[in-house]
Amino acid sequence: MNHLTPPTDLRRVLFDGRIEKRLSMMVPVRLLTTKEPRVSEKVFTRNVSPHGARLVTNWLWQPGEEPLVTPLTGEFPQPARVIYCQPRANGGFYLGLQFTARSVRWDDDSRLR
C-alpha cells in the first residue's frame, strides 16, 4: 500500500454499499410487464432512491427483466430493470428495481397517506 491507497477500512466505506441513501417510503405504484401477455399489479414500495426502489410483488421476476413502474400519483411510467427478486417469508417477493431512463423524485406527495 502506498500513500495514494486508502486504508482497507476506508475503502470498504467508500466502495461498499449504496452511493445514494434510500428512504423508507410506502408509495402505491402500478407494476406492468412489457412483454406479452401484458399484465399489471398494484404494489407498494418499501424504500426508494432517485435511481431505484424496493417493492413487494406477488410475481416472480427474473434479473434483467424490464417492467414499467407508474406511481399512482399521476406521474409518467418509468422504465426499470429488475436487479433482484427475493422470496418473502410470508409470501410474495421483494423486488429490487433500477430506473433506466431518468431519476425519480420521490416527495411527500408520493407517500401513501
Q: Which of 63, 56, 67, 42 is nearest to 95 (CA)?
A: 56
Residue 70: give the domain boundaries.
15-105
Residue found by looking up cell 421483494 in the block: 94
Phi, psi values for residue 12, rounded to 5°? -60, -45
**Stronger pLDDT, 57 or 34, i.e. the higher one:** 57
CATH number of the CATH domain containing 89:
2.40.10.220
**Residue 2 belongs to a domain:** no
Can you tell me the distance from the alpha carbon of 28 to that of 55, in angstroms, rounded to the nearest whole number?
10
Check whether 4 has a pLDDT greater than 70.
no
pLDDT of residue 95: 96
Q: Are 40 and 57 in contact (CB under 8 A)?
A: no
**Residue 98 belongs to a domain:** yes
**Residue 10 belongs to a domain:** no
pTM more than 0.85: no
pLDDT of residue 74: 73
Q: What is the pLDDT of residues 73-105, one digit of tens each?
A: 777 788 999 999 999 999 999 999 998 876 666
**Residue 5 belongs to a domain:** no
Which grid cell sits at 16? 461498499
**Residue 23 belongs to a domain:** yes
Beta strands in 1-113 (DSSP E): 23-24, 28-32, 40-49, 52-57, 68-71, 78-87, 93-99
**Residue 7 belongs to a domain:** no
> What's the full length of the chain, in residues?
113
How many structural domains does the chain have? 1
**Residue 33 belongs to a domain:** yes
**Residue 67 belongs to a domain:** yes
